[in-house]
Chains A and B, each alone.
Chain A
Amino acid sequence: MTAPYTPGELLAVMGARQLRDDTTVFAGVGIPLLAAALAQQRQAPRLTMVIEGGIVGPQIKPGRLPISTNEMRAGHRAQMLPGITDTFLLAQRGFLDLGFMGGAQIDQHGNVNTSVLGTDYWRPKVRLPGTGGANDIISLCREVIIVTPHERRRFVPRVDFITSPGWLDGDGSRRRAGLLFGGVSRVVTTLGIFGFDPETRRMRVEALHPGVSLDAVRASTGFEVLASGQPATTEPPTAEELEILRALDPERRFLG
C-alpha cells in the first residue's frame, strides 16, 4: 500500500525526480527548494542549489525553511553569498543547468504570467507581484521546469501578459526573439508530467500520476492538451521520499 500524500508533497517528489547528479539548479523558495533538497538527499548528492537572493550551495535547516529568497534562512550554511546581480550573471554565462519555477498563469506554449490579469497593463484587473527572477530564470538557464498545481484558471490558452517567455508562439519564435538557448522542457503538475511538441511547442502529456485520467486533465486545462495513445503512469511517492520531505518541513508550511 502506498502512503497517502498531499498535492504539495506530490509536486515536490515529482519535481525532485527531474534533477540529475553533478548539475546546478536555480530554485525558488517553497516547493522548488524542497524538491531540490530532496533530490540532494537521494539521487543527486553532488547537485548545487543556487537561489536568486544571492546564495550558492545553501543547506536547508529543517523546520526553518526560508520564506523569501533573500533572507538569512535561505542562506543557511551556504558556500557563497554573491550579490543578486552576480548570481543571475552565473546563469547568463551558462552555469545553470536547470531552473525550477512556479507561475500564476501558464499557457499551451509554456509562457508564464505573474504580472497582471486583464488587457491593460497600466490599469490591470488584478495586479500580481511581478516577475521577480522568473523572467531571468526562464531566459537564461539551459532548461526550465515549471512546477505548479493543475487548475483550469491557471492553464489558459494564452496568458494575458508574457512575464516569462516559454516557447512564445512556438515554431522557432523563442529563438527569433533573441533567446538562442534554453526553454521550458517540462511542466510538473498535480495531475501529471507534461512536455512540448518539438515543432509546434504545444504542451503534451508525458505521464499521468496514479489514478489520474486524461479526461481529468482535459477538465482542468483551458486548452487542448496533446496526447498520443495511453500516457505512462508515474511511480507514486515512496515512504522514504515522503519521510525526507516531512523532516524538512515539519511545520508543513509548504507541503500543505
Chain B
Amino acid sequence: MKAAEYDYLAARRRLEAKAKSAGEKLTTVEDAAARVRDGDVVAAGGCLFSRTPMALVREVLRQRRQGLTLVRNLMCTEGEFMMAAGAVERVVTAWMSIGLPWGVSRVMREYVEGGKVAFEEWSHLALGLRFRAAAMGVPFLPTLTMLGSDLVGVAGMKTVTDPYTGQTLGAVPALFPDVALLHVHRADRFGNCQIDGYPHMDADIARAAATVLVTTEEVVPEEEIRRQPDRTVIPGFLVDALVLQPFGAYPHECYGLYEADFEHFQEYTDAIQAGGVRAVADYLDRYVYGPASYVAYLDLFGGERLARQRRFARDLTG
C-alpha cells in the first residue's frame, strides 16, 4: 500500500483543482485512455467477468502503459492481459482467476510466484470499504471484518480502538485511485450514467478516483436521463471522458444485454494449457494489438456469436 492511496487531503485538493463540467464528454477511446499515465493506480469497475471495461483496458494496453497498479475487487482475464503485457507491477484485489471451471489462473501464478507482480490481498468487503471511504472523503472506515487473519499483515491494515466502547476495530484505509475505468449501460453525452442489474462498486469508484473514464453501451438523449433521474448512479460532473462502445465489456458480460462468452474463455485457457503463458502474448497480438479498431476486434468474434450472447442474456433476465 502506498501512502498516497489514502491521503484524503491531497485527494480532496486534486478534486478541488479539477474542472467539474456539465458539458460535453464524448470522445474517442484513444483520447480517453491517453489520460492514464505510467505508474498510475488504476481502478476498474465491474466484477470478475461482469461489466469489465474491456474497451478501455484494451486501449490502455495498446498505448503500452507501464508500472500500473490495477485495483479490482475480483480480477479475471483483464488482469492476466495486464500482467502478460508488462503493464502492471502490482494488483490490489480479493481474488484472481477466471472462474471455478477454469481452475487457478496459471498466468497469475507465474507472475506472482516469480515475483514480477505483487499481489496485495484485501477481503472483498475491505476493498469495497476502501472505495467507500474514498467516496465519502474520509481517511478510513471502521470495520469488523478481516481482524485476526494474516491478511491484516500483508495488506497493512491497522486497527483502532472504538472511542465509545473500547473495542478493537479494523481501520480500512481509503483508496483514491488516479484513474477509474468504467463501463455502463447508458449515458447522455454529458456523462450522466445509468447502470442496469448489478451495481458492483462502480458508483463508489467514480467518486473515489481523480479521473473518471467511462465507456457506455448506448448514448441516450438528455431527456431520457431526465425522465428517470432516480436511475442515474454517476452524475456527469464526475466524468472526464465518455466513449460510446457497444459490446464494450465483451467477451465479459453486460447485465441484460449479453452473457459472458464461456466458450471463448475455454479456448483461451486451452491455449494457455497447451502453450503456457506465452499463449497470452499471442492472444494479445490477435485481440489487442492487431485489430486497429474495436469494431475490427468484435469482428473476430463474429456477429452470430454476439447475437447468440444477446439471446442468452434475454433468457436470463427477460
Residues of A within 8 A of B (CB): 29-30, 52-54, 61, 64, 67-68, 70-73, 75-76, 81-85, 88-89, 91-92, 115, 121-133, 135-136, 139-140, 161-165, 168, 173-174, 177-180, 253
Give the residue name and chain of the A residue nearest to B254 (CB). A72
Q: Which residues of B contact A123 (CB under 8 A)?
A: 113, 115
Are B50 and A71 in contact, CB atoms less than 8 angstroms apart?
yes
- Please give me the residue from chain A that is nearest to B199 by CB atom: A83
Q: Contact at A72–B145, with CB atoms within 8 Å?
A: no
Evaluate contact between A127 and B108: CB separation under 8 angstroms: yes
- Indicate if the CB atoms of B149 and A165 lie closer than 8 Å: yes
Whether the Cβ atoms of B94 and A67 lie closer than 8 Å is no
A178 adjacent to B317 (CB under 8 Å):
no
| Chain A residue contacts of B3, Cβ below 8 A | none
B19 on interface, CB distance cutoff 8 Å = no
Chain A residues near B197 (CB-CB < 8 A) = 72, 75, 81
B→A interface (CB under 8 Å): 47-50, 73-74, 93-97, 99-101, 104-105, 108-109, 112-113, 115, 118-119, 121-126, 128-129, 131-132, 143-151, 154, 159, 167-170, 197-201, 203-204, 253, 255-256, 259-260, 262, 313, 315-317
Contact residues in B for A121 (Cβ distance below 8 Å): 150, 154
A61-B316, A140-B144 known; A88-B124 Cβ under 8 A: yes
Are B105's CB and A133's CB within 8 A?
Answer: no
The reply to whether B150 and A163 contact each other, CB–CB distance below 8 Å, is yes
Task: Report chain B residues within 8 Å CB of A253.
Answer: 101
Chain B residue nearest to A118 (CB atoms) is B113
Main secondary structure of the interface of B (DSSP, over half): mixed
Residue on A with the closest CB to B93? A130
State the CA gap A115–B209 with chains docked (Å). 28
Residues of chain A within 8 A of B262, CB atoms compared:
67
> 19 A–B contact pairs at CB < 8 A?
A53-B198, A67-B100, A71-B49, A71-B253, A75-B197, A81-B197, A83-B201, A85-B128, A91-B125, A92-B143, A122-B154, A126-B109, A127-B112, A127-B113, A129-B97, A135-B123, A139-B147, A164-B149, A168-B148
Question: How many angstroms between the C-alpha atoms of A219 and B132 in the bound complex?
Answer: 47
User: Which of A92, A135, A180 is packed against the most chain B CB atoms within 10 Å?
Assistant: A135
Is B128 a contact partner of A84 (Cβ separation < 8 A)?
Answer: yes
Q: Are B104 and A128 in contact (CB under 8 A)?
A: yes
Q: Chain A contacts of B143 at CB under 8 A? A: 92
B123 partner residues in chain A, CB cutoff 8 A: 131, 133, 135-136, 139
What are the residues of chain A within 8 A of B73 when measuring CB–CB? 84
B130, closest chain A residue (CB): A85
The 8 Å CB contact of B316, one of A73, A133, A140, A180, is A73
Asked if B256 and A72 sit within 8 Å, CB to CB, the answer is yes
The minimal Cβ–Cβ distance linking A84 to chain B, given in whole angstroms, is: 6
What is the minimal beta-carbon distance from A23 to any residue of chain B, in angstroms? 20
Q: B121–A131 contact, CB under 8 A?
A: yes
Give min CB distance, B111 to chain A, whole Å: 9
Contact between B201 and A84 (Cβ–Cβ < 8 Å)?
Answer: yes
Nearest-neighbour CB distance to chain A for B310, whole angstroms, equals 12
Please tell me if the beta carbons of B198 and A125 are within 8 angstroms of each other in the complex. no
Contacts A84-B199, A126-B113, A131-B151 aside, 14 further interface pairs with beta carbons under 8 A come to: A30-B100, A71-B50, A85-B132, A127-B109, A127-B119, A129-B95, A129-B105, A135-B123, A136-B145, A139-B123, A139-B147, A165-B149, A177-B168, A178-B159
Which residue of B74, B113, B131, B144 is within 8 Å of A70 (Cβ)?
A: B74
**Which residues of the other chain, A, contact B204 by a CB distance below 8 angstroms?**
83, 85
Q: A125, B113: Cβ atoms under 8 Å?
A: yes
**In the complex, what's the smallest C-beta–C-beta distance from A128 to chain B, in angstroms?**
6
How far, in Å, is A82 (CB) from chain B's closest CB?
7
Asked if B94 contacts A85 (CB within 8 A), the reply is no
A124 engages B112 (CB within 8 Å): yes
Measured CB to CB, the closest approach of chain A to B178, in angstroms, equals 21
Partner of A162, one of B131, B150, B169, B317: B150
Q: Are A53 and B168 in contact (CB under 8 A)?
A: no
- Neighbouring A residues of B146 by C-beta, 8 Å: 135-136, 139
Inside 8 A of B154's CB, which chain A residues have their CB? 121-122
Query: In the complex, which residues of chain B have a beta carbon less than 8 angstroms from the beta carbon of A132?
Result: 74, 94-95, 124
Q: Is the CB of A177 within 8 A of B95?
A: no
The 7 lowest CB-CB distance pairs between A and B, nearest first, are A177-B148, A85-B128, A88-B125, A132-B95, A135-B123, A178-B168, A178-B147
Contacts of B125 in A (CB 8 A): 85, 88-89, 91-92, 133, 136, 140
Complex Cα–Cα for A68 and B98 (A): 9
| Partner pick for A54 among B108, B113, B199, CB 8 A cutoff | B199
Residue of A nearest to B153 (CB): A121
Interchain nearest-CB distance for A131 vs B (Å) = 5
Cβ-defined contact, B48 with A54, below 8 A: no
Are B150 and A161 touching (Cβ within 8 A)?
A: yes
What residues on B are CB-neighbors of A70 within 8 Å? 47-50, 74, 198, 200
